[in-house]
Amino acid sequence: MTLWLVFALMTAAAIFAVLWPLSRRTPLHRGSDIAVYRDQLDEIIRDRAAGLIGETEAEAARVEVSRRLLAAADVADADTPVPEASARWHRRVTAVVALVLLPIGAVLLYLALGSPQLPGEPLAARMSAPNENRSIESLIAQVEHHVEQNPNDGRGWEVLAPVYMRLGRFDDAVRAWRNTIRLNGSNAAREAEFGEAQVAAANGVVTANAKAAFERALAADGKNVMARFYMGTAADQDGRRADADKIWRELLADAPPGAPWVEVVRHAIEHDALPDTAANVSPAQTAPGPNAADVAAVAQMRPEDRNQMIRGMVARLADRLKQDGNDVDGWERLLRAYMVLGERDKAHNAAADARKALASDPDKLRHLDTVLKGLGVEG
User: Whole-model pTM?
Assistant: 0.44
Let me know the angle formed at the C-alpha of 275 by 354 and 370, rounded to the nearest 5 degrees.
30
pLDDT at 159: 86
Q: Quick one: which of 303, 282, 190, 187 has its CA closest to 233?
A: 282
pLDDT in the model for residue 310: 65
> Residue 337: which residues within 8 A CB-CB, separation 6 or more?
205, 310, 313, 314, 317
Which of 103-107, 243-247, 336-340, 369-373 has the weakest average pLDDT?
Answer: 103-107
Domains of the chain in start order, with CATH, are 149-291 (1.25.40.10), 305-375 (1.25.40)
Residue type, position 229, single letter? F
Position 296 pLDDT exceeds 50: no
Radius of gyration of the chain (CA): 43
- Let me know: does 176 contact 164? Beta carbons within 8 Å: yes
Report how far residue 227's alpha carbon sits from residue 242's, in angstroms, rounded to the nearest whole number.
18
Using 50, 70 and 90 to split pLDDT, how confident is the model at 70?
Answer: confident
Query: How buried is residue 100: exposed, middle or buried, by Cβ count under 10 Å (0-12/13-18/19+)?
Result: exposed
pLDDT value at position 132?
A: 47
Query: In this predicted model, which residue has the larger pLDDT, 167 or 190?
Result: 190
Nearest to 287 by CA among 266, 268, 261: 261
Check pLDDT > 70 for residue 130: no
Distance between CA 88 and CA 285 in Å, rounded?
80
Residue 292 is predicted with a pLDDT of 37
Would you call 310 helix, strand, or coil by DSSP? helix
- The pLDDT of 4-17, averaged and rounded, is 72
Mean residue pLDDT of the chain comes to 75
SS3 358: coil
- Is the predicted pLDDT of residue 231 greater than 50, yes or no? yes
Q: Please give the average per-residue pLDDT across 232-238, as a whole number.
A: 88
* Nearest partner of 218 among 247, 189, 198, 196, judged by Cα: 189
Q: Does residue 82 sit in helix, strand or coil?
A: coil
Q: Is residue 216 predicted with pLDDT exceeding 90?
A: yes
**Start-end of H helices in the chain:** 2-22, 31-49, 55-78, 84-96, 102-113, 123-127, 136-149, 154-167, 170-184, 188-201, 208-220, 225-237, 241-253, 262-270, 273-280, 295-299, 303-323, 328-341, 344-357, 362-375
| Residue range 236-290, pLDDT digits in tens | 888 888 898 999 999 989 888 878 788 888 888 875 443 333 334 333 333 333 3
d(CA 194, CA 162): 10
Q: CA dihedral defined by 350, 351, 353, 356, rounded to 10 degrees?
A: 170
Looking at beta carbons, which pairs linking 300-303 to residues 24 or more positions away fall under 8 Å? Answer: 301/275, 303/272, 303/275
The tens digit of pLDDT for each residue in 112-121 reads 666 655 555 5
